[in-house]
Structure 1
Amino acid sequence: MSEAAESGDAPAGREIWIEKYRPQTFDDVYGQDDIVERLRSYIERDDLPHLLFAGPAGVGKTTSATAIARAIYGDDWRGNFLELNASDERGIDVVRDRIKNFARSSFGGHDYRVIFLDEADSLTNDAQSALRRTMEQFSDNTRFILSCNYSSKIIDPIQSRCAVFRFSPLGDDAIAEQVRDIAAAEDIEVTEDGLDALVYAAGGDMRRAINSLQAAATTGEVVDEEAVYMITSTARPEDIEEMVRAAIDGEFTAARKQLETLIVDTGMAGGDIIDQLHRSVWEFDLDERDAVRLMERIGEADYRISEGANEQVQLEALLASLALSQN
Structure 2
Amino acid sequence: MSDVDAESDSEPEPGREIWIEKYRPQTLDDIKGQDDIVERLQSYIDQRDLPHLLFSGRAGIGKTTAATAIAREVYGDDWRGNFLELNASDQRGIDVVRDRIKNFARSSFGGHDYRIIFLDEADSLTSDAQSALRRTMEQFSDNTRFILSCNYSSKIIDPIQSRCAVFRYSPLSDEAVAAQVDEIAAAEGIEVTDDGREALVYAAGGDMRRAINSLQAAATTGEVVDEEAVYLITSTARPEEIESMVTDAIAGDFSKSRATLDTLLTDTGMAGGDIIDQLHRSVWDFDLSERDAVRLMERIGETDYRITEGANEQVQLEALLASLAMNEQ
Q: Same fold (TM over 0.5)?
A: yes
- Residues 131-162 of structure 1 show CA distances to partners (whole Å, capped at 9, x for unaligned) of 00000000000000000000000000000000
Question: Which residue identity is paired with 1:137?
Answer: Q
Residue 26 of structure 1 and its aligned partner are, at CA, apart by 1.0
- 1:167 is the counterpart of 2:164: no
Q: In 2, distance between residues paired with 1:115 and 1:92?
A: 16
How much does 1:12 deviate?
A: 11
Q: 2:91 aligns with which of 86, 89, 92?
A: 89
Separation of aligned partners in 2, 1:277 and 1:71: 41
Counterpart among 260, 284, 296 of residue 258 in structure 1? 260
Looking at structure 2, the residues matched to 275 and 227 of structure 1 have their Cα atoms a distance apart, in angstroms, of: 21
Determine the C-alpha separation between the residues in 2 that align with 1:190 and 1:286: 32
TM-score computed with the length of structure 2 as normaliser:
0.95
How many residue pairs are counted as aligned between the two chains?
Answer: 319
In structure 1, what is the Cα distance between the partners aligned to 2:169 and 2:48?
23
Deviations 1:197-230 (A, max 9, x none): 0000000000000000000001111000000000
Partner of 1:39: 41
Q: How many Å separate the matches in 2 of 1:319 and 1:110?
A: 60
Per the alignment, residue 62 of structure 2 pairs with 60
Are 2:143 and 1:137 aligned? no
| Aligned pairs (5 A) from 1:105-184 | 105-184=107-186
Deviation at 1:28, TM superposition (A): 1.2
* Distance in 2 between residues matched to 1:99 and 1:134, nearest whole Å: 8
- Deviation track 1:162-218 (CA, whole Å, cap 9, x = no partner) reads 000000110000000000000000000000000000000000000000000000001
The corresponding residue for 1:310 is 312
* Counterpart for residue 276 of structure 2: 274
In the aligned structure 1, how far is the partner of 2:16 from the partner of 2:106?
40
Amino acid at match of 2:174: D
Give me the whole-angstrom Cα distance separating, in 2, the residues matched to 1:104 and 1:151: 28
The structural deviation recorded for 1:13 is 7.0
Identical pairs, percent: 84
In the alignment, the residues of structure 2 paired with residue 70 and residue 261 of structure 1 have an alpha-carbon distance, to the nearest angstrom, of 48
Structure 1 length as normaliser, TM-score? 0.96
Tell me the residue number matched to 2:194. 192
> Could you tell me which amino acid in structure 2 is paired with residue 77 of structure 1?
W
Q: Identify the match of residue 98 of structure 1 among 100, 103, 106.
A: 100
Give how far 1:274 is off. Answer: 0.3
Match of 1:209 in 2: 211
Query: Which residue type is aligned with residue 86 of structure 2?
Result: L
Runs of 4+ in 1 over 6 A off after TM superposition: none
Q: What stretches of structure 1 of length at least 5 have no aligned partner?
A: 3-10
Matches within 5 A, 1:222-261: 222-261=224-263
Shift in Å, 1:285: 2.0
Aligned partners of 1:253 and 1:297: how far apart in 2? 19
Alignment-derived partner of residue 300 in structure 1: 302
SS at match of 1:75: helix
CA offset at residue 248 of structure 1? 0.3
Q: Secondary structure of 1:30's match?
A: coil
**Equivalent of 2:285 in 269, 275, 283:** 283
